Amino acid sequence: MAFTVKTAEFITSAGLTLELPPPARAEIAVVGKSNVGKSSLINSLTGRNKLAKISATPGKTKLINYFLLNGEFYLVDLPGYGFAKAPKEEQKKWGELMEKYLSSGRVSHLIMLIDIRHDPTELDRQMFGYMLYYGIPYTLVATKADKLAKSKRKQAANALAKKLGAPPYATAYSSETGDGRAELLERIGAIVCPPDCGDTNGE
């Protein structure tokens, strides 16, 4: 049966000192360019509009924000990259924070977001390279799918994955309409509780 999010709660924010909460069953982190829709996706997935803070101004999320879902796994909101106006010092801090976090061995899965309307940027390629380098399993998601005609979404999402050099498959997602939500939840369900995990998660 379908995986559902029953509860979602904010746990903590962590910065460079990386004071992270005790590990949970899984830790799924959301990465992507600033303003691509990471925080919106977390709200849409959890059905909680005000859980993660959203802003039309890029660079809203500056810390690693932990949300505990169903009391058993973390969904983690990360600060975005590629915010052109960010001061050099801030960009440096972002790099240090991400390097520390991704090499911590805690991340069980990364959900990487790319805007469905734009080609991957150089920084997206770098991010993708980090993911491969650290050997972290990932899922690619093309955000803001509502900005494209329905008939073009699937193809555009898959083309993005291909351009990134990944197997040509990405989920087209819209936090506005809920497009792709069921598909991504199913994926998350499989990460949190693979077939052999011995749990009846999701009933």
Ligand X SMILES: Nc1nc2c(ncn2[C@@H]2O[C@H](COP(=O)(O)OP(=O)(O)OP(=O)(O)O)[C@@H](O)[C@H]2O)c(=O)[nH]1
* 124-183: contacts with ligand X (CB under 6 A): 143-144, 146-147, 174-176
What is the dihedral angle through the alpha carbons of 67, 71, 73, 77, rounded to the nearest 10 degrees? -10
Site for Mg ion in 30-89 (CB under 5 A): 38-39, 60-61
174 binds Mg ion (CB under 5 A): no
Residue 84: CB minimum distance to Mg ion, A: 16
Q: Which of 26, 28, 54, 76 is the binder for ligand X (CB under 6 A)? A: 54
Return left, alpha or beta for 70; rule: phi > 0 is left, psi -120 to 50 is alpha, else beta: left
Instruction: Compose the 76-105 pattern: x for residues touching ligand X by CB under 6 A, - for all others.
Output: ---xx-------------------------
C-alpha span between 94 and 11 (Å, rounded): 21
**Beta strand 138-143 with 109-115: parallel, antiparallel or unpaired?**
parallel
Tell me the C-alpha distance between 18 and 87, whole Å. 22
Q: Which residues bind ligand X (CB under 6 A)?
A: 32, 34-40, 54-56, 58-61, 79-80, 143-144, 146-147, 174-176
